[in-house]
Structure 1
Amino acid sequence: MNASVQSETARVVETAMVQFSEVGFDEAKIDTIAQESGMSKRMIHYHFGDKKGLYMEALKLAIAQLRPEPQDMELESTVPVEGVRKVVEVIYRRITSHPHAVRLMVLENLFGWGGMNDSAALADQSIVLLQMDKLLMMGQDAGAFRSGISAIDVYSIITSICFHRTVYSATFNNLYSINLMDEANLDGNLNLVIDTVLAFLTSNLGSRDEMSYLKLRADSNDKGASSAIYDNELEF
């Protein structure tokens, strides 16, 4: 596929992601996506098959948009607290910069149009977890962080607050007169998630015997980033 065609198909997938995130899979129309993307309906079917095929590509794009770039996760400090602060901010700003990707992920989890719950992983998310797990190990070795917390635990906290900003904005605006989408509240939520993560890591609740609050599925063959790191299977 040459560069021009790649650019055209990328534009179609971007347009489709916005459409699916705004009206859902059932209401999204290939005709509308074709008109807004500039690619004919016939060519969309040629490249993506049916609407489900295009939807799956839109899901993959949404996941990619929410995943930080590796270079952005590189650390400038070996101090665990400062490293965690940076990584949390990188993840937070990446997610909050792509509201349509967040909306699509929420809709997929609610309605399951793409069958993510029962399918193989649509993307490799290790870059999101490896740097955080490295920081957690450094902090635990230094006595700064309590043990029994994994990168996926921390990531759950970050994404919960990030997704809350998008999906609960109207409710907060209506009931509490707080516009979560305001620039000031963008920074406020960032401070909230950083302080929450650091308080979680440094609390005096005591260490835990297990490696994570969350468990892999029993049928999963993936050990996960945390297990691999603690088994010295990954090098940094």
Structure 2
Amino acid sequence: MKTVIHRGNTRGFADHGWLQSYHTFSFAGYYNPERIHFGALRVLNDDTVKGGMGFGAHPHDNMEIVSIPLSGALEHKDNTGRHKIINQHDVQIMSAGTGIQHSEFNASKTETVKFLQIWLFPKVKDIQPRYDQKTFDPANRHNKLQVVVAPEESEETLLINQDAWFSLGQFDKGQTLTYSPKLNGNGAYLLVLSGKLKVGDEILDSRDAIAVSDYDKLDISVQEDASFLLMDVPMVA
């Protein structure tokens, strides 16, 4: 088993006034040759946007983009005419494919929004651009993993153009779980959103992360009430 620890305080950081963004991997003005990507996982940004502010219309292509609001709500618009609000407990996926333009703004004029923006390299390039969005009941991740993104069509999850699975968990102190890769050869990237976990021999606090590859199982024990995101991704970009 190979492991790499990314402590929350070692991430890249950009403060644009209206936006505070922590970058796990090289992005925009942050470059770290040891943090370009983890397999198919290319971008993991932890963003806070002030009320009434956001990202104006900009293009993407051939990237799978997942947005997960942690608090507040995002307003999404794109050049297909789609106009949606992404609330806390929602997850949105955008398959940029052959090309799309979209904007994301804080849906509130006064309250901040905090969200994760995650990019994966696609399995198949140049597909027709596609969006999907679902609301996930947080009760269904209490002391268990709730799969929110998967490569198969399902009413329970969002479809991604990659052999990847995203799971959210919210666990009480003292709980334990063992995780195995969904697909042989996949790696796991676990980001602690709050609380404290022990993963293998490593203690992870809020916003710490562990990247694991060449493994059969991952033993996780909850040291303090914790919530986390676990991304099961191919190790070939």
TM-score, normalisation: structure 1 = 0.24
TM-score, normalisation: structure 2 = 0.24
* Higher fraction of helix: 1
* Higher fraction of strand: 2
Structure number with larger C-alpha Rg: 1
